[in-house]
Structure 1
Amino acid sequence: MDRLGSTPPRTPGELKQEILRVYNAVNQGIAGVGVSRQRVDLLDDRILILAQHQRVKALATLDPAHRDITRNVDVALLDEGKRRLAQELTDRIGLPVRVVLKDYDPNTEIAATVVVLDAPLVLTESRRPQ
């Protein structure tokens, strides 16, 4: 962020890479392991992240017999992940995050995250080598 509190323009590719690093770091902090695949799409004032996660081993073990319990833990982990992601995107990248919405399917281990911003993204054209 600059001294006026706004984010400097960056290319879409640069911003996507920053978002991927933050998203992976947040997941490492919560689950102890990063995601195995992730993709970011930038859509005006929204960011869409699709990621292949690795299920927390203890939860995967309990799922067949105790899905009611693991569902509650999943929701708690999702809530904490959304809180941390919003904070990190604001602090480390300077994005004006309004809300983070996230869902996770334990069977496929795929998560979809939508970050809604207070303002549209300010991006520059892709830089070309000279």
Structure 2
Amino acid sequence: MISVKGQYSIGVLKQEIIKIYNSINQEIFGIGIKSQKIDIAGDKVFIFATHKRIPALKILDESHRSITASVDSLLMEANKKMLKEQLEKTLGLKVRLVLKDYDPVTEYSGTVIVLDQPVE
């Protein structure tokens, strides 16, 4: 098991992860998340969030979904990379991988962060 830099409690760790997650969304999309739920189980962090769709992409979704799907994919890749970097730099977590999916219709996303070791 790993201890988190600064000896955060699980509750504080969850809050710090959500702050990082939300700040990255603000940086990429210009808006934060509407709601989120976070759970930590062993070496996995689960984040389920409701986002606000970028208005320009929402308009293009109906007639050009293949293009907006590509843009969504690229934005998720940037988001995952930034999230991994910030969790490691700010909280001292060793992140093995970040998985993320987003549904533009419901504006709901699921993120799974797999750590190198369980959090104690």
Under a length normalisation based on structure 2, what TM-score does the superposition of the two structures give? 0.94
- Which of structure 1's runs of 4+ aligned residues deviate more than 6 A? none
Matched, 1:50 2:48: yes
Residue 76 of structure 2 aligns with an amino acid whose one-letter code is L
Question: Which residue pairs with 2:18 in the alignment?
Answer: 20
Residue 11 of structure 1 aligns with an amino acid whose one-letter code is S
2:64 aligns with one of 45, 63, 66:
66
Question: Which residue pairs with 2:28 in the alignment?
Answer: 30
Q: How does 1:1-20 map to 2 (within 5 A)?
A: 7-20=5-18
SS of the equivalent of 2:31 reads coil
Matched, 1:78 2:76: yes
CA RMSD of aligned residues (A): 1.3
Question: Which residue pairs with 1:118 in the alignment?
Answer: 116
Residue 23 of structure 2 aligns with an amino acid whose one-letter code is A
Give distance in 2, aligned partners of 1:92 and 1:57.
Answer: 31
Identity %: 45
Following superposition, the deviation at residue 7 of structure 1 comes to 2.6
Give distance in 1, aligned partners of 2:26 and 2:50.
Answer: 13
Following superposition, the deviation at residue 68 of structure 1 comes to 0.4
Give distance in 2, aligned partners of 1:95 and 1:53.
Answer: 25
SS of the equivalent of 1:113 reads strand
Following superposition, the deviation at residue 55 of structure 1 comes to 0.5
Q: Name the count of aligned residue pairs.
A: 118
After superposition, the C-alpha distances for 1:46-102 in whole angstroms (9 at most, x for unaligned) are 000000001111100100000000000000000000000000111111111010000
Question: Which residue pairs with 2:93 in the alignment?
Answer: 95
Greater shift in the superposed pair: 6-15 or 56-65: 6-15
Question: Which residue pairs with 2:102 in the alignment?
Answer: 104
Question: Tell me, which stretches of 5 or more residues in structure 1 are unaligned?
Answer: 1-5, 123-130
